[in-house]
Amino acid sequence: MTTERIWRRGQLSSQWEEFISGSRGEEMGRGERGWHRRVKTEVRLWSLGRRGRDWSDMWQSFTMWLRIACLLLGLSYSTPASVFQGRDQAHSLLDRAKRANSGWLEEMKAGNLERECLEEVCSYEEAREVFEHDQATNEFWKLYNVADYCHSSPCQNNGTCSNQPSSYGCLCPLGFSGRNCELEFKLVPDTCLHENGGCEHFCEEGGGSRNCSCAAGYVLAADGQRCLAEEMYPCGTVPVLQGILSEKRNLPDDPRSRIVGGTECPKGHCPWQVLLVYGQKGFCGGVIYTATWILTATHCLENIDVRHLKVVAGEHNLDVEEGSEQTVQVVEMVPHPAYVVKTADNDIALLRLAEPIRFSPYAVPACLPRRALAEQELWAVHLHTVSGWGRRSELGPTSRILRKLDVPRIRTQDCVENSGVTVTANMFCAGYIEGKQDSCKGDSGGPLVTRYRQTWFLLGIVSWGKGCARPGNYGIYTRVSNYLDWIHEHTAKQAVNGTETKI
């Protein structure tokens, strides 16, 4: 047997450019030793001849049948169904979230908690596959199957929401409360020295805590801070302005609203102001303290016979009878026993009326402060209001219409240095260094009131001054807070509208 090999050289350029294929041929021949098989081996280039096309056709047929087999295999696992689903079934399919590990292959895997219930939303049956017994599954399901009540963010004002077994809870930031942190409240100071302890009227400390209380005619609210009126016309209110003030309750005062130089006090805006009338002539002012007691200045009562002294409440225009006036006879004058004529020290007096004043929108008492409120909070207020029918200039006539003026309180040292007057501890100064604005003759005995948290308190009584509105001079007022005990002593029990009230 011989083998012949024929190499066609020079036709192979590169093994990376062409595939080499060997073809084997055989032929029978007769040699010296008889018949034998001659094998002819030839190496040649692969060409797209007949044999190349046969292999290509075979490969295409194979891949086609492979695809058909895969399709049949997939159909063998599907459930026969109609092309169209019913409406309810279609909606249920659309609403169901697609599981990441869905399909028949997932059922071949062992139950896994992370895969079944943490990476995805699982059903009770899937959780049961993981735990394999009911008790453990039920314990897990109680914690796992909790509705997300916090999804709608119910907590307001940056509150933190937490899911609870059948509802939600809100952890509110400082300064807010309520189920949804919707209620805002001010932090309560623990001392009266800071913002009056949060009290609307009076603050007292004792037993390691602070306590709030209210003026007569008010009751302490449930929050322990606010004061609620329990009478129709409680002290320190301006009924004709209540609607306006309630709308502006939390708004700061506008400095541009200050009336400098004095202006008319609109009817009902100074309801505690009264006019003292001797005979048929008005001569001094006063302030309503209770229905039967009036506060005024002692110097107004010099050489006065009580039988001819009357008080007019609800007055506004002296030339017009407006229907709101109440004229009441005075039956007792109580000047302060320590009044000094020369210095006008202790210039304060009480007048007892024959019958009580009927409170109305035009006749309301001013609230009497406690000493701590007056000296800590009221002194800190920038402007105070004085009113009366006094002269509009030092030598001019008295006013026929009630007027008011807002004035700042002046430090006693500055007052003495600028005015050169004697100011005792029972007095204080208020007004303007440049003059032009001041109380004057005829205003004596009238009120200087201060608004604190929507309530007006009596801080001073018009007493005296060097001239009227002279540059470098101020008005001098009696310091009412120094006489609280004296006032209470003389007005402790009085009959008001048939009932006995303790002030």
Rounded Cα distance, 185 and 177, in Å? 7
CA distance 300 to 285: 9
Q: What does the angle CA 86 – CA 92 – CA 98 come to, to the nearest 5 degrees?
A: 130
Q: How far apart are the first and last CA of the chain?
A: 146
**Is 80 buried (19+), middle (13-18) or exposed (0-12) by CB count in 10 A?**
exposed
φ/ψ (deg, to 5) at 373: -65, -45
Cα 152 from Cα 162, distance rounded (Å): 12
Query: Other CB atoms closer than 10 Å to residue 476's CB: what's the count?
Result: 25
Greatest alpha-carbon span in the chain: 180
Q: How far apart are CA 57 and CA 114, in angstroms?
A: 50
393 half-sphere exposure, CB direction, 13 A CA radius:
3
> HEC string of 206-224?
ECCEEEEECCCCEEECCCC
Q: What is the C-alpha separation between 435 and 478, in angstroms, rounded?
A: 20
- 115 by DSSP, 3-state: which? helix
Identify the residue whose tokens are 């609800």.
Answer: 314
Q: Which residues of 278-299 are buried (b: 16+ CB within 10 A; e: fewer)?
A: beeebbbbbbbbbbbbbbbbbb
- Cα dihedral 371, 373, 375, 378 sign: negative
User: Tokens in use for 205?
Assistant: 């400390």
Active site residues: 299, 347, 444
